[in-house]
Structure 1
C-alpha cells in the first residue's frame, strides 16, 4: 500500500488543530486504562501516598458524578478546543430558542464512532453554545464505566460529563430553577457499530427510556441531528448476521461498550490510522417539543410522545439535509 505522507510545509494552524485532536482521541481511547495502570503502579513506588490519598478523596467524592459532576469553565473554554473545532470543522446550528425557565432532554443522533460533534458542541465552549442558548447548561451523558477509573473520572467531569444512569441523568432535571439540558446519544454504544459513512441508521424505534424520563420530570424534548458524524471514520464492514457483528454485539452486551473496528488517517500521513478525517460536522438543534409533567405515563401516552419525537427528528433531517450534501432521496432509517 502506498503511503500518502503529509507535506512538510503544513501551516502552524493546521498542526495545532491536529495536535488538539490527537489529545482528544488519546483521551477517549487510552487515557482511562492509562490512569488505572498509573494508580496501581504508584502503589509500588515511593509515590504510593499519591494513590492512597486519591483513594481517600475518591471515597468522599464518590457521588459527585451523579450530582451534576464538577464542570471547570476555564478548561471548557481553552483555545485547545477551538483548534479541535476548526480541524473538522464542527458547527452548531440553532433553529429555535430554548427558554431557560425550563429543563430539556436533548436527543443526539447519530452516535457516530467517537461522538465528536456531541463533545465539541456540548462539553466545550468552542461552538458558542452559551451564546446561542443563553441561560442553558448542558450535561452530556457518558457510560458509567468511565467514572470508575481513578483520575480519569475527574478529568471528564471537568467537561460537564455525567454518568448515563437514571440517578445521574435526572439530577439536573430535578432542579426547579430550570436552564439544564441533559444531552443523550440515544443510540448509545450499539449504534456506533452502524456508523459507516453515507449511512443514516438511527437506533430509536424501541428507545423510550429517555422519553419516559422527560415525561416524569416535565422536561421538554429537543431532537438534535449531527450531519457528518458518521463521515469522519471508516469502519470495517460488519452487517448483521456476520461473525464479526455477532462478536461485537456479544462483547458489547458483556462489557457495556462497543468495539467498532474503525480507521481513518494518521498524524503524519493520510493513508491509515485512528485520527478522524477532516470532514465537516454540523450539529442541528431542533425545535423543543413541549412535555407536560406526568409521573406515571401510560403506555399509550409514552408511545404517542415517542412517535411525535421520531416525526420531529425526521422532519429536522429532511428540512436541513440539502444544506449538508445529503441526497434528496436519502431518508432516516429508524431501527
Structure 2
C-alpha cells in the first residue's frame, strides 16, 4: 500500500457514492464475463455469442464516424458519475468559445492519459455547454475498446471512434473536430501516483493530422489525473510487453479503501491557446510538422 491513503485535497467518500461507482465498475466487468459464461453454458446459446462477436468484428461503425448518442451523456447515471469529482474547466483568453464558427475545426490534444482516462467522459458531458458553437466532435480511442462488449457501446455513445489515421481523417473530412490523447497506451502505462508524466516527444501524428485538415490545434491538460489511483507494479514488465506487442493495456490499481474506484480529487481541465501554423494546403512538410510539434 502506498504511504498516502488519500491524496491531498481529496473529498470525503460517501458510502452511497462509492457503492454506485463500484456497482458500475462491477456491472461492466461482470457483464462481459457473465455474458460469456451464460452463452458458453449451453451449446444452444453459443451461436448468440459468435453472432455478436461476428457483428462487432466486421462492423465498420468505429471506423466510419461512430454512432454518438448525446442522450447517454445527459443520462442520470452519467450525471451522477461525473459528479464524483469536483470538476473545473479553465479556458485560455485566446480560445474564445463565443467566437467559434460552425465551420471551424479543432484538434484537442489532451494530456495526460491517466490510468483510465476519466477526463474523457467529463469532457464529453461538458463539451456542448463549454463550446456551444462547436459543430460536432469525435474522440479517438484504442481499437481494442471496440471489441469489448458494453465498453464498445459506451465508447460509441460518447463520441469515440477508432484511433487509426484513416478513421480520424474520415471524421475530419466529414466536418468533425477531433479529441486525441497523443500519449495513448504508452502514457497510460507510465502513470505514477502524484507525478505528472507526459509521453509526447515521439508522438507527431496528431500534428500532421491537424495540418493536413487545416484544423486548429488546442493543447489541453487535466490537472489531478495522477492523483486518482495508486498504480500497482505487479507484473509491470509483462504488462508493458503486452502493451508494446499487442497494444493491449492491463491496468492494476487501487483507490480509496483499496477499492478499484478513483479518489475524489479536484480535476482542472485547462484549454490552452490555439497553436498557429502556416497554411499548408493539406500537405505539411516533415520539417514544418517537427517545428509545430516542438
Mapping of 1:42-57 within 5 angstroms?
44-45=43-44, 47=45, 50-51=48-49, 54=52
For residues 208 and 34 of structure 2, what CA distance do their matches in structure 1 show? Answer: 36
Q: Which among 248, 273, 280 is matched to residue 239 of structure 2?
A: 248
Alpha-carbon shift at residue 113 of structure 1 (Å): 0.5
Alpha-carbon shift at residue 31 of structure 1 (Å): 6.2
Q: Which among 202, 217, 228 is matched to residue 232 of structure 1?
A: 228
TM-score, reference length from structure 2:
0.82
For residues 25 and 183 of structure 2, what CA distance do their matches in structure 1 show? Answer: 21
- What corresponds to 2:114 in structure 1? 112
CA distances 1:5-25 after superposition (whole Å, capped 9, x unpaired):
xxxxxx9x9455334433554
CA RMSD of aligned residues (A): 3.0
- Judging changes above 3 Å, is the alpha-carbon distance between structure 1 residues 32 and 102 closer, same or farther for their aligned structure 2 residues? farther
For residues 119 and 86 of structure 2, what CA distance do their matches in structure 1 show? Answer: 10
Which 5+ residue runs of structure 1 have no aligned equivalent? 5-10, 239-243, 266-270, 308-335
* Structure 1 contact 108–118 (Cα < 8 Å) conserved: no
For residues 164 and 132 of structure 2, what CA distance do their matches in structure 1 show? Answer: 27
* Structure 1 contact 17–86 (Cα < 8 Å) conserved: no
TM-score, reference length from structure 1:
0.72
- What corresponds to 1:333 in structure 2? none
Secondary structure (helix, strand or coil) at the match of 2:138 reads strand
CA distances 1:172-231 after superposition (whole Å, capped 9, x unpaired):
2112xx4x3211111111112222233122101121011111111111111000000110
- What corresponds to 1:316 in structure 2? none
1:306 equivalent to 2:281? Answer: no
* Structure 2 contact 36–49 (Cα < 8 Å) conserved: no
For residues 91 and 218 of structure 1, what CA distance do their matches in structure 2 show? Answer: 29
- What corresponds to 1:285 in structure 2? 271
- Judging changes above 3 Å, is the alpha-carbon distance between structure 1 residues 82 and 218 closer, same or farther for their aligned structure 2 residues? same
1:74 equivalent to 2:66? Answer: no
For residues 174 and 40 of structure 1, what CA distance do their matches in structure 2 show? Answer: 40
For residues 189 and 67 of structure 2, what CA distance do their matches in structure 1 show? Answer: 31
CA distances 1:26-52 after superposition (whole Å, capped 9, x unpaired):
477x2685377268537723x566446
Pick which of 280-289 and 15-24 moved more.
Answer: 15-24
Q: Which among 79, 84, 87 is matched to residue 87 of structure 1?
A: 84
- Judging changes above 3 Å, is the alpha-carbon distance between structure 1 residues 252 and 73 closer, same or farther for their aligned structure 2 residues? same
* Structure 1 contact 31–152 (Cα < 8 Å) conserved: no
* Structure 2 contact 32–149 (Cα < 8 Å) conserved: no
Q: Which among 272, 293, 296 is matched to residue 283 of structure 2?
A: 296
- What corresponds to 2:249 in structure 1? 258
For residues 209 and 196 of structure 2, what CA distance do their matches in structure 1 show? Answer: 26
Which 5+ residue runs of structure 2 have no aligned equivalent? 6-11
Secondary structure (helix, strand or coil) at the match of 1:168 reads helix
Structure with the larger RCO, 1 or 2 (CA within 8 Å, 6+ apart): 2
* Structure 1 contact 224–283 (Cα < 8 Å) conserved: yes
CA distances 1:233-290 after superposition (whole Å, capped 9, x unpaired):
012359xxxxx5533321211221233432112xxxxx21211111111111122223
- Judging changes above 3 Å, is the alpha-carbon distance between structure 1 residues 49 and 89 closer, same or farther for their aligned structure 2 residues? same
Q: Which among 192, 198, 201 is matched to residue 196 of structure 1?
A: 192
- What corresponds to 2:129 in structure 1? 131
- Judging changes above 3 Å, is the alpha-carbon distance between structure 1 residues 170 and 57 closer, same or farther for their aligned structure 2 residues? same
CA distances 1:92-149 after superposition (whole Å, capped 9, x unpaired):
3333225232111111100110111122212xx2xx3212101322322111012123
- What corresponds to 1:21 in structure 2? 21
Pick which of 65-74 and 135-144 moved more.
Answer: 135-144
1:208 equivalent to 2:204? Answer: yes
* Stretches of 4+ aligned residues off by more than 6 angstroms: none
